[in-house]
Amino acid sequence: MTTSLFFLMWGLATALALPLLLPFHGRGVEGVPAFMAANVLAVLSMLAYAAADIVPPGAYVMVSNAAWTCSAALVYIGVRQFFGLRPHILRTTVLCSLCMFGFALLLYRNDSLVARIMLFSLYTCVLMAATGTVIFRQRKRIQTGGVVLYLLLAFFGVVGIQALRAFVYGAGLAAPVSLLQPSAWSLFFIVCGSVTVPAMFLALLFLIQTCQAEKMQAALTFDSLTQAYSRRSIMDALEHDLQRCERAGGKLAVLVLDIDHFKSINDRYGHAAGDTALRHFASVVQNAVRSSDRFGRLGGEEFVLLMYDCDPASALVQAQRVCDALRDTPLYLQGLEVPMTTSGGLASYQPGDSADVILARADVALYQAKEQGRDRVVMAWSGRGVVRAAGGQPAGAALALEETAGSTA
């Protein structure tokens, strides 16, 4: 009776993950239906042993083993689905079916407890190790520290316990007994299982929650169309860089870029082509700049590049590299080559600059570049008292523009 209570508590502890998985099923997260079904079957496996006093022995053993066999298979399939991999449903179903057939033979035709223990443990080891391997190979897709370690400990913890169980009984270190018999080893494996199995399902829940949170954070951090930093993120980064400059006397160059004749692309080829042009522009710029530079989208076809620890001369060379890269990488729309160019305004940090002031200086330089024929960068060397108007246009006093760089193609 005491052992049955252990299994009842084990089943209830495993079931705790189910209501927490339900919201993700409603959101259509891949793999969650398989995880939920696996959880239900794992709970059924524990409850079958908990009901051993009122169910015929042949029935509860077969129900428990079959339920766990399917549960382990569904966990493996669900993890692959979650990561967008081919789920291997056919091969996993075949393996699961063969295992259940083996249980039936070893229970009803040639009753062998040792053979059933070995089959159960080895099958669990194979499926859980395969699942852990999938997680390890996909670890770079999980950015939050410690999550992968917890997942691997949970899955390989199950593997370790089942491997030890197979070794103990297979090597004859202990007499094989049912988990319902209160021997030292059976109690040890029940206690370990009541920890590792619920931990495995909580690890799956942790995996889903972490990845969903990272996706939400990425949606806030990056522009969904171009994968450049979002306006909010790039403005936060600019404020941070300005604070660094003020504290440590650092150097910062801000380059505001605008795609030349972007409206004509939309008008001639349609808005879908305009989106393609924006993605093309962002890709070219990000490939042309330093890995330490931060590139973001302010809105529409206007972007900004933050170059920390970059003096004005180096920033001008970098800006020219961006213009050259875009000019040398044509865009293809509807089978036609569409040349793209950009105009830029470059401003360097001056003591006391705020984000609005340095962007306003860069804006004035940008509009000067447009007036001078586009496909070029104009540098704003000095200026004060300019703020960025609500519509994005610079307002206030005119700034001194002392140097022009870029092609005039």
> Which residues are known to be catalytic?
301
Q: For the beta carbon of residue 388, count every other beta carbon within 10 angstroms.
A: 21
Specify whether the CB–CB gap between 227 and 237 falls below 8 A: no
Identity of residue 200? M
Task: Return the DSSP state at 376.
Answer: S
Question: Cα 345 to chain center, whole Å?
Answer: 35
Cβ of 114: how many Cβ atoms within 10 Å? Answer: 14
Nearest 5 degrees, angle CA 65-CA 70-CA 74? 150
Helices (H), 271-402: 271-288, 312-327, 355-371
Strand ranges (DSSP E) for 210-351? 252-259, 294-299, 302-308, 331-333, 336-338, 342-348
Quick one: which H or E segment has residue 403? strand 400-405
CA distance 386 to 401: 14
- Specify the residue for token string 């997680």: 135
Beta bridge partners of 386: 396
Residues in the chain: 409
